[in-house]
Amino acid sequence: MIKIVVLISGNGTNLQTIINQINTGEINAEIAAVISNRANAYGLERARKAGIATEVLEHGDFASREAFDQSLAKLIDRYQPDLVALAGFMRILSDAFVLHYHNKLLNIHPSLLPKYRGLNTHQRALEAGDKQHGASVHFVIPELDAGTVIIHGVVPVMADDTVETLAHRVHCIEHIIYPKAIKWLAESDLKFENDRLTLHGKALTEPVKVYLPAHLEL
Protein backbone atom coordinates (compact mmCIF):
# COMPACT_ATOMS: atom_id res chain seq x y z
CA MET A 1 0.00 0.00 0.00
CA ILE A 2 1.44 3.40 -0.93
CA LYS A 3 1.74 6.25 1.52
CA ILE A 4 0.64 9.69 0.40
CA VAL A 5 1.19 13.15 1.85
CA VAL A 6 -1.34 15.69 0.56
CA LEU A 7 -0.54 19.40 0.49
CA ILE A 8 -3.43 21.88 0.54
CA SER A 9 -4.13 25.58 0.98
CA GLY A 10 -7.90 25.72 1.00
CA ASN A 11 -11.22 23.93 0.84
CA GLY A 12 -9.82 20.49 0.09
CA THR A 13 -12.61 19.02 -2.04
CA ASN A 14 -10.04 17.11 -4.07
CA LEU A 15 -8.54 15.84 -0.82
CA GLN A 16 -12.04 14.75 0.23
CA THR A 17 -12.58 12.65 -2.89
CA ILE A 18 -9.25 10.92 -2.33
CA ILE A 19 -10.14 10.26 1.31
CA ASN A 20 -13.55 8.90 0.25
CA GLN A 21 -12.10 6.53 -2.32
CA ILE A 22 -9.50 5.26 0.12
CA ASN A 23 -12.24 4.67 2.68
CA THR A 24 -14.36 2.69 0.24
CA GLY A 25 -11.33 0.62 -0.79
CA GLU A 26 -11.32 2.02 -4.34
CA ILE A 27 -7.78 3.35 -3.86
CA ASN A 28 -5.30 1.12 -2.09
CA ALA A 29 -3.36 3.82 -0.28
CA GLU A 30 -2.98 5.57 3.03
CA ILE A 31 -2.84 9.32 3.55
CA ALA A 32 -0.07 9.67 6.10
CA ALA A 33 -0.58 13.40 6.60
CA VAL A 34 -2.26 16.49 5.24
CA ILE A 35 -0.12 19.62 5.34
CA SER A 36 -1.39 23.15 4.81
CA ASN A 37 0.38 26.48 4.48
CA ARG A 38 -2.75 28.13 5.87
CA ALA A 39 -4.01 27.38 9.38
CA ASN A 40 -7.62 28.13 8.39
CA ALA A 41 -7.75 25.82 5.36
CA TYR A 42 -11.01 23.85 5.59
CA GLY A 43 -9.24 20.83 4.17
CA LEU A 44 -7.51 20.43 7.55
CA GLU A 45 -10.92 19.91 9.13
CA ARG A 46 -11.74 17.28 6.51
CA ALA A 47 -8.49 15.47 7.35
CA ARG A 48 -9.14 15.62 11.11
CA LYS A 49 -12.64 14.21 10.60
CA ALA A 50 -11.07 11.33 8.69
CA GLY A 51 -8.56 10.71 11.47
CA ILE A 52 -5.58 11.81 9.37
CA ALA A 53 -2.57 13.60 10.89
CA THR A 54 -2.47 17.30 10.03
CA GLU A 55 0.34 19.83 10.00
CA VAL A 56 0.38 23.57 9.43
CA LEU A 57 3.44 25.36 8.13
CA GLU A 58 2.66 29.02 7.51
CA HIS A 59 4.77 30.42 4.70
CA GLY A 60 4.58 33.90 6.27
CA ASP A 61 6.81 32.67 9.11
CA PHE A 62 9.75 32.17 6.73
CA ALA A 63 12.18 34.71 5.31
CA SER A 64 12.39 33.15 1.86
CA ARG A 65 10.71 30.66 -0.44
CA GLU A 66 13.76 28.39 -0.14
CA ALA A 67 13.63 28.41 3.68
CA PHE A 68 9.92 27.55 3.68
CA ASP A 69 10.39 24.78 1.13
CA GLN A 70 13.27 23.28 3.10
CA SER A 71 11.17 23.09 6.24
CA LEU A 72 8.24 21.75 4.26
CA ALA A 73 10.38 18.98 2.78
CA LYS A 74 11.67 18.07 6.25
CA LEU A 75 8.12 17.83 7.52
CA ILE A 76 6.96 15.76 4.56
CA ASP A 77 9.93 13.41 4.79
CA ARG A 78 9.08 12.52 8.39
CA TYR A 79 6.13 10.61 6.92
CA GLN A 80 8.25 8.88 4.25
CA PRO A 81 5.62 9.13 1.52
CA ASP A 82 5.74 7.30 -1.80
CA LEU A 83 3.73 10.12 -3.34
CA VAL A 84 3.24 13.81 -2.55
CA ALA A 85 -0.05 15.08 -3.96
CA LEU A 86 -0.67 18.80 -4.36
CA ALA A 87 -4.40 19.40 -4.03
CA GLY A 88 -5.04 23.12 -4.27
CA PHE A 89 -1.64 23.96 -2.78
CA MET A 90 -1.29 27.56 -3.91
CA ARG A 91 2.47 28.01 -3.72
CA ILE A 92 5.14 28.13 -6.36
CA LEU A 93 7.73 25.55 -5.33
CA SER A 94 11.49 26.06 -5.52
CA ASP A 95 13.52 23.94 -7.93
CA ALA A 96 15.32 22.17 -5.07
CA PHE A 97 12.00 21.09 -3.54
CA VAL A 98 10.64 19.82 -6.83
CA LEU A 99 13.81 17.92 -7.68
CA HIS A 100 13.84 16.33 -4.21
CA TYR A 101 10.51 14.67 -5.08
CA HIS A 102 11.40 13.83 -8.67
CA ASN A 103 8.69 11.56 -10.15
CA LYS A 104 6.83 11.52 -6.82
CA LEU A 105 5.17 14.92 -6.95
CA LEU A 106 1.70 15.14 -8.49
CA ASN A 107 -0.50 18.18 -9.07
CA ILE A 108 -4.00 18.94 -10.26
CA HIS A 109 -4.33 22.11 -12.30
CA PRO A 110 -7.59 23.70 -13.46
CA SER A 111 -6.94 23.86 -17.22
CA LEU A 112 -6.13 21.62 -20.13
CA LEU A 113 -2.35 22.03 -19.94
CA PRO A 114 -0.29 23.29 -21.71
CA LYS A 115 -3.09 25.87 -21.99
CA TYR A 116 -3.35 28.39 -19.16
CA ARG A 117 -0.51 27.70 -16.77
CA GLY A 118 -0.70 29.78 -13.58
CA LEU A 119 -3.77 31.55 -12.22
CA ASN A 120 -7.25 32.66 -13.38
CA THR A 121 -7.59 29.75 -15.76
CA HIS A 122 -11.40 29.80 -15.98
CA GLN A 123 -11.47 33.51 -16.77
CA ARG A 124 -8.84 33.03 -19.47
CA ALA A 125 -10.71 30.11 -21.05
CA LEU A 126 -13.92 32.19 -21.15
CA GLU A 127 -12.15 35.22 -22.61
CA ALA A 128 -10.58 33.07 -25.32
CA GLY A 129 -14.01 31.71 -26.28
CA ASP A 130 -12.85 28.11 -25.75
CA LYS A 131 -15.48 25.46 -26.37
CA GLN A 132 -13.73 23.03 -24.03
CA HIS A 133 -11.93 23.53 -20.76
CA GLY A 134 -10.97 21.22 -17.93
CA ALA A 135 -8.26 20.05 -15.58
CA SER A 136 -4.96 18.20 -15.78
CA VAL A 137 -3.26 15.77 -13.43
CA HIS A 138 0.46 16.05 -14.01
CA PHE A 139 3.85 15.33 -12.55
CA VAL A 140 5.56 18.44 -11.23
CA ILE A 141 8.83 19.72 -12.67
CA PRO A 142 10.62 22.98 -11.83
CA GLU A 143 8.97 24.84 -14.71
CA LEU A 144 5.48 25.92 -13.53
CA ASP A 145 2.62 23.64 -14.64
CA ALA A 146 4.82 22.13 -17.34
CA GLY A 147 5.36 18.51 -16.24
CA THR A 148 4.08 15.41 -18.01
CA VAL A 149 0.28 15.26 -17.99
CA ILE A 150 -1.33 11.92 -17.09
CA ILE A 151 -5.02 12.76 -17.52
CA HIS A 152 -6.96 15.57 -19.12
CA GLY A 153 -10.43 15.93 -17.65
CA VAL A 154 -12.46 17.67 -20.34
CA VAL A 155 -15.63 19.71 -19.78
CA PRO A 156 -17.76 21.73 -22.21
CA VAL A 157 -17.90 25.51 -21.92
CA MET A 158 -21.54 26.65 -22.13
CA ALA A 159 -22.58 29.90 -23.83
CA ASP A 160 -23.89 31.38 -20.57
CA ASP A 161 -21.03 30.25 -18.33
CA THR A 162 -19.57 32.53 -15.71
CA VAL A 163 -16.27 31.92 -13.94
CA GLU A 164 -18.28 30.35 -11.10
CA THR A 165 -20.35 27.94 -13.19
CA LEU A 166 -17.31 26.89 -15.20
CA ALA A 167 -15.18 26.45 -12.06
CA HIS A 168 -17.90 24.23 -10.61
CA ARG A 169 -17.93 22.02 -13.71
CA VAL A 170 -14.13 21.78 -13.65
CA HIS A 171 -14.22 20.80 -9.98
CA CYS A 172 -16.61 17.95 -10.86
CA ILE A 173 -14.16 16.51 -13.39
CA GLU A 174 -11.22 17.04 -11.00
CA HIS A 175 -13.00 14.82 -8.50
CA ILE A 176 -13.04 12.07 -11.11
CA ILE A 177 -9.53 12.36 -12.55
CA TYR A 178 -7.37 12.96 -9.48
CA PRO A 179 -8.48 9.81 -7.62
CA LYS A 180 -8.20 7.87 -10.89
CA ALA A 181 -4.56 8.88 -11.44
CA ILE A 182 -3.70 8.14 -7.81
CA LYS A 183 -5.38 4.74 -8.04
CA TRP A 184 -3.33 3.89 -11.13
CA LEU A 185 -0.12 4.91 -9.35
CA ALA A 186 -1.08 3.07 -6.18
CA GLU A 187 -1.67 -0.13 -8.11
CA SER A 188 1.44 0.33 -10.28
CA ASP A 189 -0.79 0.40 -13.38
CA LEU A 190 0.83 3.71 -14.16
CA LYS A 191 4.60 4.07 -14.17
CA PHE A 192 6.79 7.06 -14.85
CA GLU A 193 10.35 5.99 -15.53
CA ASN A 194 13.06 7.75 -17.56
CA ASP A 195 10.54 10.48 -18.34
CA ARG A 196 8.27 7.93 -20.04
CA LEU A 197 4.74 7.18 -18.92
CA THR A 198 3.28 3.71 -19.26
CA LEU A 199 -0.27 2.72 -18.41
CA HIS A 200 -1.04 -0.98 -18.09
CA GLY A 201 2.36 -1.66 -19.69
CA LYS A 202 1.69 0.46 -22.78
CA ALA A 203 3.50 3.72 -23.54
CA LEU A 204 1.30 6.75 -22.96
CA THR A 205 2.29 9.32 -25.56
CA GLU A 206 -0.51 11.74 -24.77
CA PRO A 207 -2.74 12.33 -21.75
CA VAL A 208 -5.69 10.01 -21.16
CA LYS A 209 -8.86 11.98 -21.86
CA VAL A 210 -11.77 11.70 -19.45
CA TYR A 211 -15.04 13.49 -20.26
CA LEU A 212 -17.60 14.75 -17.80
CA PRO A 213 -20.62 12.43 -17.59
CA ALA A 214 -23.70 14.18 -19.09
CA HIS A 215 -25.62 14.24 -15.80
CA LEU A 216 -22.86 16.44 -14.28
CA GLU A 217 -22.83 18.95 -17.14
CA LEU A 218 -25.06 21.53 -15.40
Residues catalogued as catalytic = 109
Name the DSSP letter for residue 106: E
Least Cβ distance, residue 218 to ligand GAR (angstroms): 17
11 near ligand GAR, rule: CB under 6 A: yes
Map residues 157-196 to x or -, x wherever contact with ligand GAR holds by CB under 6 A. --------------x--x----------------------
13 near ligand GAR, rule: CB under 6 A: yes
Least Cβ distance, residue 97 to ligand GAR (angstroms): 15
Q: Which window, 12-20, 25-33, 148-156, 184-192, contacts ligand GAR (CB under 6 A)?
A: 12-20
Q: At what angle do helices 42-49 and 13-23 cross, to 10 degrees?
A: 10
14 near ligand GAR, rule: CB under 6 A: yes
10 near ligand GAR, rule: CB under 6 A: yes
Give 121 or 208: the residue with its C-beta nearer to ligand GAR: 121
Cα gap 190→175, rounded to integer Å: 19
Cα gap 5→95, rounded to integer Å: 19
Least Cβ distance, residue 203 to ligand GAR (angstroms): 27
Give 110 or 179: the residue with its C-beta nearer to ligand GAR: 110
Answer whether 104's CB lies under 8 Å from 76's CB: no
Residue nearest to ligand GAR (CB): 88
Give 88 or 207: the residue with its C-beta nearer to ligand GAR: 88
Answer whether 120's CB lies under 8 Å from 131's CB: no
Within 10 Å of residue 117's Cβ, how many Cβ atoms?
A: 14
Q: What are phi and psi of 49, to 5 degrees?
A: -60, -30
Helix (H, G, I), strand (E, B) or coil at 209: strand
29 near ligand GAR, rule: CB under 6 A: no
Q: What are phi and psi of 161, to 5 degrees?
A: -65, 145
Cα gap 102→120, rounded to integer Å: 27
Binding positions for ligand GAR, 55-114, rule CB under 6 A = 87-88, 108-110
Taken in order 147, 101, 88, 26, the sign of the CA dihedral is positive
> How many chain residues touch ligand GAR (CB under 6 A)?
14
Q: Which residues lie near ligand GAR (CB under 6 A)?
A: 10-14, 43, 87-88, 108-110, 135, 171, 174
